[in-house]
Amino acid sequence: MRPQNKEGRRAKQIEIMENSFNCYAESGFSSVGVKAIAKACDCSVATLYLYFENLDDLIIQSTEYCMSKVEDDFMAKAPTDVDDLWRFIDEIPYWTAKKHGKKYRLMYQIYTHPKYREYGQKFFKGVDKRYTEYAKSLEPKLGIPHEKITPLIFILIRACVHYALFEDEFYLKSQIAVLKEALELFLAKYNPKARSGTFTE
């Protein structure tokens, strides 16, 4: 039965998206059918189609919505000043892998699938824009131009995601070491009065 208002309909859509995405993340993208998704969402298959055009529409919308929430979760822990940078860089890869590793693995399964690749491209264009805006907000706090901060954010994100996918400690530590060194160099150049991190000898 259809909700009687837009708020109710949207709330039900979100519930279905979250439950279906979690089901795929737990059980595997290729091994879960529409009946299993309906069961995970505690509704009938017919009810799913009241809220989404088809299974592809559900997959596309749930991936975008749930990964945007993961991104919000990540950004909520982001540092806002120089003093907190080093703690954040050291802790965030392990936190990401533990809390969202399954979701990142599912996201890459979906967005590298030929059927959904264009939606992945669209999603990551949005990511590019959001992280650039975040870098601009950090510029006055760190004293480093946002054009320099933005690629460093992407290095960190890539290191976090790669670790979440494969738990590759060597790759992670290599990326983090370069990231810290780059931050030290930029701080020394643009904001020499800032407290130096643990990377400085």
Task: For 142-173, write each residue's pLDDT tens digit.
Answer: 999 999 999 999 999 999 999 999 999 999 99
Task: For residues 95 and 138, state if they share a domain.
Answer: yes
Contact call for residues 32 and 109 (beta carbons, < 8 A): no
Task: For residues 82 and 163, state if they share a domain.
Answer: yes
Task: Evaluate the CA torsion angle 28, 31, 36, 38 in order and state its sign.
Answer: positive
Task: For residues 22 and 108, state if they share a domain.
Answer: no
Task: For 185-198, write each residue's pLDDT tens digit.
Answer: 999 999 988 755 44
Task: For 57-104, write each residue's pLDDT tens digit.
Answer: 999 999 999 999 999 999 899 887 888 999 999 999 999 999 999 999
Task: For residues 44 and 79, state if they share a domain.
Answer: no
Task: For residues 145 and 179, state if they share a domain.
Answer: yes
Task: For 105-146, write each residue's pLDDT tens digit.
Answer: 999 999 999 999 999 999 999 999 999 999 999 999 899 999
Task: For residues 184 and 97, state if they share a domain.
Answer: yes
Contact call for residues 108 and 78 (beta carbons, < 8 A): no
Q: Which amino acid is at 12?
A: K
Residue 199 has pLDDT above 60, yes or no: no
